[in-house]
Structure 1
Amino acid sequence: MVTSLRPPAVEPDRFRRVLGHLPTGVVVVSALYEDEPVGLTVGSFCSVSLDPPMIGFFPSKTSTSWPRIERTGRFVANILAEHQDEVSAVFARSGGAKFTHLRWRPSATGAPVLDGVAAWIDCEVASVTDAGDHVFVLARVLDLAATDDHHPLVFFRGGYARLSGRAS
């Protein structure tokens, strides 16, 4: 006789607490929508492919910024530097004038590259796929650059963290 074992339900708070043990980089995705800069903070960002170069990230379905960015078809993924935790917090909030006190320059596609970031990646949306309470955005990389001047901002166990040095 085969019995079907049903695993216990995974509670959202428990899921968040356990997955919080995996450090993640903090990225602000930004675009120029109808001549106005728009952006949001994402913590689920990854390299997807080297050939062709592609990245992916997961904005929430409740985001008010993502639909405007999606309509432009292009964006910059700004990998925040360790001193930019306040920038992350500003872009994590819904609404408001997020770019008011920030300096930025346009990428080749016109999307905002924030001053002081550890790296930036200029992208074009390839596809958007349903992923539970988020969507998965797959994007082609058009251009990118990094600086060795800053370590990235990291989110770990529910708060911002800084790298202590370079791993060997």
Structure 2
Amino acid sequence: MTAERADLSAFERLLAEQDEPQLDAQQFKSVFRRHPAGVAVVALRHEGRPVGFTATSVISVSAAPPLLAFSLASTSSSWAAVSAAPTLAVSFLADHQDDVSARFATSGIDRFADGGWTPLTTGEPVIDGAVSWVRARVVQRTPVGDSYLVSLRALAASTAEAATPLVYHDRTYHRIGGHSAL
């Protein structure tokens, strides 16, 4: 048994030991559809080619040291690449990049074929015109339920001062800015 499998089994045992009722998958998804999230593209190089996907699960974990994380389903077509990657880039999309988000969320296509990205000198792809990007080293891949929580240490970043972020809420893209401030 692998260490990851042993960890997952321990986690599954812990959940099974709890006797309180829990939300079913549809109820849980309904809650998070109502929670707005920033939209990012996680991208890396794997076996000589770029790999990337849309993520709305990117979170800041710590400023010192600079850590961030995202979750990815173990069934994702990108998981094999992420499971082997030493480094990757997270591009936080701008409000005009809903088409980029949709492209990187689509299965079975070459998500990089239409361009709109540039490789860093270290090889990781970043999305052109993004609000910001972070190049990061993978520090941990933790199995949690049917997904992995991927923890990263930020190594380099760039921010476009004038850009505003793309937000996803209730299955729809939104723009935020001065007009939406309270």
TM-score, with length taken from structure 1: 0.90
Once the two structures are superposed, the pairs formed by residues 96-111 of structure 1 within 5 Å of their partners are 96-111=109-124
Contact 1:45–1:57 (CA<8 Å) still a contact in 2?
A: yes
2:76 pairs with 1:63 = yes
Alignment size in residue pairs: 163
Residues in 1 aligned to 2:124 and 2:131: alpha-carbon distance in whole angstroms: 17
Aligned-residue offset at 1:25: 0.5
104 and 17 in structure 1: CA distance in 2 versus 1, 3 angstrom threshold: same
2:39 pairs with 1:26 = yes
Of all paired residues, the percent bearing the same amino acid is: 37
Once the two structures are superposed, the pairs formed by residues 113-124 of structure 1 within 5 Å of their partners are 113-124=126-137
Once the two structures are superposed, the pairs formed by residues 1-150 of structure 1 within 5 Å of their partners are 7-150=20-163
Aligned-residue offset at 1:8: 3.9
CA RMSD between the two structures: 1.6
Residues in 1 aligned to 2:26 and 2:172: alpha-carbon distance in whole angstroms: 15
Partner of 1:3: none
Aligned-residue offset at 1:164: 4.0
Residues in 1 aligned to 2:37 and 2:101: alpha-carbon distance in whole angstroms: 13
Contact 1:74–1:109 (CA<8 Å) still a contact in 2?
A: no
Q: Which amino acid is 1:70 matched to?
A: S
Residues in 2 aligned to 1:11 and 1:48: alpha-carbon distance in whole angstroms: 27
Contact 2:72–2:149 (CA<8 Å) still a contact in 1?
A: yes
Residues in 2 aligned to 1:8 and 1:48: alpha-carbon distance in whole angstroms: 29
Contact 1:49–1:55 (CA<8 Å) still a contact in 2?
A: yes
Deviation sequence 1:92-140 (CA, Å, 0-9, x none)? 1223211011222222421001111111000110000011121000011
Residues in 1 aligned to 2:142 and 2:105: alpha-carbon distance in whole angstroms: 22
Residues in 1 aligned to 2:174 and 2:116: alpha-carbon distance in whole angstroms: 24
Partner of 2:165: 152
Residues in 2 aligned to 1:53 and 1:25: alpha-carbon distance in whole angstroms: 19
Contact 2:164–2:177 (CA<8 Å) still a contact in 1?
A: no
3-state SS of 1:83 partner? coil
Structure (1 or 2) with the greater helix fraction: 2
Deviation sequence 1:2-44 (CA, Å, 0-9, x none)? xxxx654312222111222221011110011122111011111
3-state SS of 1:59 partner? strand
Contact 1:56–1:138 (CA<8 Å) still a contact in 2?
A: yes
Contact 1:39–1:69 (CA<8 Å) still a contact in 2?
A: no
Q: Show structure 2 runs of 5+ residues with no match.
A: 1-18
Residues in 1 aligned to 2:20 and 2:65: alpha-carbon distance in whole angstroms: 39
